[in-house]
Amino acid sequence: MKELENMFIKIAHRGASAYEPENTLRSFERAIEMKADMIELDVRQSIDGHLVVMHDGTVDRTTDSTGLVSLKTLAELKELNAGKGERIPTLNEVVELGRGRAKFVIELKENGAEDKVVDLIRKNELIDEVFIVSFKPNRLKMVKALEPRLKTGLILFASLDPIRLAKNCGADVVAPFRWFITKGLIERAKANGLHTFTWTVDETLKAQSLKDIGVSGIVTNKPDII
């Protein structure tokens, strides 16, 4: 975690998603061009077991089709228009695009993909280039059991004791929603060996105020304005 000391990390939320279709190669490329430090993406599985990059459980909101991601094959998912003619990428395609140009924040959106994600990270020698994050502590415990060297982060909306929850699942980072970030929380996190990320911040002044009180990283749809 030394790389987070005295740093402020700009994390592109589903790529440069304020400008390009979210979770597409076009969006990730734009984020890298805007000098994002990390690109954040969401991982699910197709019915035939491929790791695909999609936030929602269905394709309804972000493509020209309908239905559950988990009930479509990769070939079927690849036929869909994810915006501006973009296709739903696989995790491997995003890794190939970003390798050596940005680091990765991979959010696990469902159970059962942990071993495949960890295997892909190992095969691509990206242990030090990735954070695995989730709202679900058990998914992070599974990741740590599979690969203790991987950095993990617990995402939270509201919690009475986010530090305890993050510590209990072995996370390296605690990531509450921006409304719940305080200087006291950041100091308690640091005292417990944790760094703090927050989401989703698209205003320059808000980002600066969060940096000033010690947040280690922010997730933003607009990596160019931070």
Q: Answer yes or no: are the C-beta atoms of 39 and 31 closer than 8 Å.
A: yes
How far apart (Å, rounded) are the C-alpha atoms in residues 225 and 198? 16
13 is catalytic: yes
DSSP 17-86: TTTS-TTSHHHHHHHHHTT-SEEEEEEEE-TTS-EEE-SSSBSTTTSSS-SBGGGS-HHHHHTS--STT-
How far apart (Å, rounded) are the C-alpha atoms in residues 102 and 24? 15
Three-state DSSP at 190 gives helix
Question: Catalytic residue among 13, 44, 109, 139, which?
Answer: 13
Amino acid at 146: L
Question: Catalytic residue among 55, 103, 151, 195, which?
Answer: 55
Note every long-range contact of 156-159, with CB atoms under 8 Å and residues 24 or more positions apart, other chains counting: 156/180
Q: Which residues of 204-224 are buried (b: 16+ CB within 10 A; e: fewer)?
A: eeebeebeeebbbbbbbbbbb
Rounded (10°) angle between helices 114-123 and 137-146? 40
Tokens encoding 94: 């995003």
Catalytic residue IDs: 13, 55
